[in-house]
Structure 1
Amino acid sequence: MASKLTVVASLPGEPVMFGADFHHFRIGLALSEDAVVVFEERHGVRLPPDYRGFITTVGHGGPGRFGGAGPFYGLFSIEDWEWALLGDPNVTMLAGPFPAERGRVYEEWLAEATPGEDDEPYRGTLALSHQGCGDLSLLVLSGPARGRGVDTRPGKQGPHFTEDPDFLSWYERWLDVVLAGERHFR
């Protein structure tokens, strides 16, 4: 993974991948194990092992407005976890189970995901990257879909689960798309 990122970062010319002009394929320094433990304890969650390994060995966040080398406008710092929330963030939001189910069709996503007045539809997710136009890529931290990636979508249908089984698969697929010279990632 790190070697592919090095190759992508050294490609000649201007980046052609959408959003890369924000991060230029640079990623911030990896987090210490202690910093990750503090984050997990503060929020009452355990990060999925592959994501945890990535941010403690490859890198974390970065120089762009929305973070470092990653899909769309770049990977957020874990401290920017709350980007997807519709309500006010609090430290317990990541521990609550994400209400979406893979394969389920929602007639009215928000009404079904938030039956209570104080419910947050994107609880249990950590924002990974900003796709533009208000859409985000998220990592599910809590609930049955733990470890899966989802994309927010406007409208009634609710979030869309990516084809990737975990964060590393999603990130490597993005690297492969960049290496293939593609302009967009989906």
Structure 2
Amino acid sequence: MGDGRDDLAARLARVASKLTVAASLPGEAVMFGADSHRFRVGPALSEAAVIRFEERHRVEVPPDYRGFITRVGHGGPGRFGGAGPFYGLFCIDDWEWALLGNPDVTMLARPFPAEPGEVYEDWLAEAAPGDDDEPYRGTLPLSHQGCGDLSLLVVSGAARGRVAETHPGRQGPRFTEDPDFLSWYERWLDAVLAGERHFR
């Protein structure tokens, strides 16, 4: 049995292969948002660039996300970035998109207050009771879903590594079924390759 790095390398190779197939599909893209990025990603980031980001924000990005942006690709040609769910994957430097308050480089290191399975009567009031509290602290925005909703990667807190979606309602963010970023991303690719029009 290989170690976790071997497993991650195999997962990244599989995702890269599926992304290549998606980009070569004939005709117009049918998946919502794909006309923006056309299944293309920008060049991968260097490890040094990711380390600089982590040091600046005092946070470590989850290993599978780090592997994706350093080995598969980062950003891309779409209005909101490269190949990915909804309107595509944001660049890591777009870290402040989810924040409701003023950007502050300490925000990513502060624990995200939501956990899978939690129920809120009033998400914003419970997650950010103080005037200076930020409800979406501890998250990196992954993709723009339209109508102001975002997919987020939790980088600090109990749900670190999970993908959550913002929601304008009082119930607060909804966690996807996926255990990590790469599972979420590959599930999207599988939906693309199956000819589906929408991803949920």
TM-score (norm 1): 0.99
Post-superposition Cα deviations, 1:117-173, rounded to whole Å, max 9, x if no partner, equal: 100000000000000010000000000000000000111000000000000000000
Counterpart of 1:43 in structure 2: which amino acid?
Answer: H
Once residues 117 and 101 of structure 1 are traced to their aligned partners in structure 2, the CA distance between those partners, rounded to angstroms, is 22
Match of residue 91 from structure 2: 77
**Equivalent position of 1:57 in the other structure:** 71
Secondary structure of the equivalent of 1:5?
A: helix
Q: Write the letter of the residue equivalent to 1:63.
A: P
Gaps of 5+ in 2: 1-14
Q: C-alpha offsets along residues 77-113 of structure 1, whole Å, 9 cap, x if unaligned?
A: 0000111100011100000000012101100000000
2:51 pairs, out of 16, 32, 37, with 37
Residue 94 of structure 2 aligns to a residue whose secondary structure is helix
Structure 1 CA distance, aligned partners of 2:33 and 2:95? 19
Aligned match of 1:96: 110
Measure the CA separation in 1 of the matches of 2:174 and 2:126: 15
Q: Give the residue type in structure 2 aligned to 1:86.
A: L
Task: Write out aligned runs for 1:1-186 (5 A).
Answer: 1-186=15-200
- The residue identity in structure 2 corresponding to 1:66 is F
Q: Distance between the aligned counterparts of 2:76 and 2:91, measured in 1?
A: 7
Which amino acid in structure 1 is aligned with residue 81 of structure 2?
Answer: G
CA distance in 1, matches of 2:115, 2:72: 30
Q: List 4+ stretches of structure 1 deviating above 4 A.
A: none
Identity percentage of aligned residues: 82
The alignment's C-alpha RMSD in Å is 0.4
How far the C-alpha of 1:116 sits from its partner, in A, is: 1.4
